[in-house]
Amino acid sequence: MIIKTTLQFLAYRKLPYLLMAVIIALALLVMVNAAAVLNKAQGEIKHTPYFGETTFSVWLKYLEQDVDYDMQAKKDEAILLAMAEVETVSFATPVPFGGGGPELKLQQPNSNDELTSSVFYADEQFVPTLAVDIIAGRNFISNDVVSSDEDASVALINKALALKLFGEYSVVGKVITAGDSSYTIVGVIDPLVGANFKSTRGQFVVVLPQVKLGKWTSMLVKFAPDTDTAIAQSMLENALQQQALKRVIAKSGVLPSYRAAGLRKDFALSAMLSAVMGAFMLVVFATVWGVVKFNFVARQKTMGILRALGISHRKQSIAVAGEFTLVCMLGVLLGGLLSLLLSPWLQSQFSIEPLQVEYILGFGAGLQILVLIIVQLHLMKCQKQTIAETIYQ
């Protein structure tokens, strides 16, 4: 009779039970990905060297096609760590553009002819032969664009540089020569362009075309405190340049003090993420408690009727616990499936670490235990009530 009544009640309350399963599934999905984000943030901070005059920042671009850039970055890390003078190495995930700035597209109107350029911040000094500081810009469109299939490089300069080099501002189409390289000017702009920097980062502005092959990565390398700075930088560049894979070292220098100060804020950010995660756990706890109680209140009326018919509270408790366990298990399975299906998309969109099955198992088991605890607390309360109180409460 207990089994028959349980099945009938599950069929009768299928929508509320389904709602509970969906809420548990969504809670599991969000908790799994929140934990992945928190773990990635704390991992990056933990493995990043921050302070000291012997910490170097390096910008690399790998120039070959069909290369596993992440694997190459790990090889670079291993080679540097093999040096006795190196204490710690960290690297960022290789990306298709550099300097932390956005990609800039110079596109001729009403044409498919376009050239994508990387935009670099002032401290990168990507063109030392021109003695020009590079700063960031965005959303620039020029009517005079070098075709993307030509070998010539293009330059986007500001008015100060145009006036210094040519004595005028109308310099579109003219060429800047530096050593063996030449850059065709495709536009003249003011120093402040776009919203991604707040002040003039450099006296002049130059934007160079991005090499379409390869990806950028940044590294922080911490040498032993007693290592000479010049020797350390030479050792660093030699170790990287001896690799078979072609690459460009855009910058190699001591970590600026403002960068170290900024990295201190990452510790505070990690603490904030941990606090947010804790608050979110409380919200999940309250939500699960509410939806379980909502379903239990309806279920306990049936328990009161069955008690009046002579069925013991113990047998009913086993049946009710089984019902809620099955519903919670359905929610956990649904949440785990959603997590696995959405993991590739979330990883590509938000750069979180790959989904670990341990997260699903851990949080799923936690939700299962939480539901059972809530049900047991309500069952203990029902046991102390009279039949009338159980039915009409």
Q: Between 354 and 95, where is the model more confident?
A: 354
Task: Write down the pLDDT at residue 175.
Answer: 80
Per-domain residue ranges for the chain?
A: 2-43+265-392, 103-254
pLDDT in tens, 54-89: 777 776 766 666 777 778 888 888 888 888 888 877
Task: Write down the pLDDT at residue 206.
Answer: 45
Model confidence pTM above 0.75: no
Task: Write down the pLDDT at residue 190.
Answer: 55
Tell me the two tokens of residue 311.
């069925």
Backbone region of residue 351 per phi and psi (left: phi > 0; alpha: psi in -120 to 50; beta: other values): left
Continuous H helices in 134-256: 159-166, 229-241
Task: Write down the pLDDT at residue 153.
Answer: 55
Distance separating alpha carbons of residues 197 and 174, to the nearest angstrom: 28
216: CB partners within 8 A, 6+ apart = 59, 60, 61, 94, 95, 96, 97, 98, 99, 118, 250
